[in-house]
Structure 1
């Protein structure tokens, strides 16, 4: 069983190249001990484009740590620093950078469990109840 929490400094995780493109990624899932969520820090240098893709049965959420760009079904969207993007499993998405600065993103993905209306009850400790 994983511990109850973990703290990771992404800068301490080595960068790796994605299998399908030149873009660098820091894979944070294992260092965090995450078992039901995939977490990556994606570093998109000027001129880079990640591979357009979908995920079978998995929504993905991207958080822009800097100003960034994401292509959704072939249309590029500018996302401000701190902006959050949710992408449906069947929607084609890829990160891109048509600017002069490196874009830094966090990408979160989890397989579906339950639904938005029924994702599980909150469990409060005896002290909070």
Structure 2
């Protein structure tokens, strides 16, 4: 049995912009040395949004730490409120997006993808569909 573990005060970690959406996040993969999952904490100010996307292999877990959150899930792209303290599981092929289209201040999400496939995201819909 191993006693190896990592700990991080997320509020003290550096927030970096996403290379795709520019949304600030803390990459817990690199900060904690995660090997079997890809967790990140996302900070969405009013007007911020992730890309509407799906995954090739990753199932994703979304949890609203501070909200309420706003999320689009499914091909219809309908936006729903997600209450603080709510968890959402999204399978790989289902389109999804978290966004803050409100004036309610910052929304904070914990998002965990597994397996830890790097750069697994792709557009919600194929261009030739």
C-alpha distance in structure 1 between counterparts of 2:53 and 2:3, whole Å: 32
Distance in structure 2 (CA, Å) of the matches to 1:22 and 1:56 = 21
Partner SS for 1:54: strand
Return 5+ residue gaps in structure 1 as ranges: 113-129
Task: Give runs of aligned pairs for residues 100-111 of structure 1, distance below 5 A.
Answer: 100=103, 101-111=105-115
Question: How do 1:44-123 residues align onto structure 2 when only pairs under 5 Å count?
Answer: 44-66=44-66, 67-73=68-74, 74-100=77-103, 101-111=105-115
Structure with a larger share of its residues in strand: 2
**Cα distance in 1, alignment partners of residues 113 and 9 from structure 2:** 19
Computed over aligned residues only, the root mean square deviation of the Cα atoms, in angstroms, reads: 1.6
Larger Rg: 1
Provide the secondary structure at the position in 1 that maps to 2:31.
Answer: helix
1:22 Cα shift?
Answer: 2.7
Alpha-carbon distance, 1:20 to partner: 1.2
State the alpha-carbon separation in 1 of the partners of residues 12 and 47 from structure 2: 25
Give the TM-score taking structure 2 as reference length.
Answer: 0.80
Q: Report matched runs for 1:3-18 at 5 Å.
A: 4-18=4-18
Q: Choose 26-35 or 78-87, whichever is displaced more.
A: 26-35
Which segments of 5 or more consecutive residues in structure 2 lack a partner in the other structure? 117-129
Count of residues paired in the alignment: 111
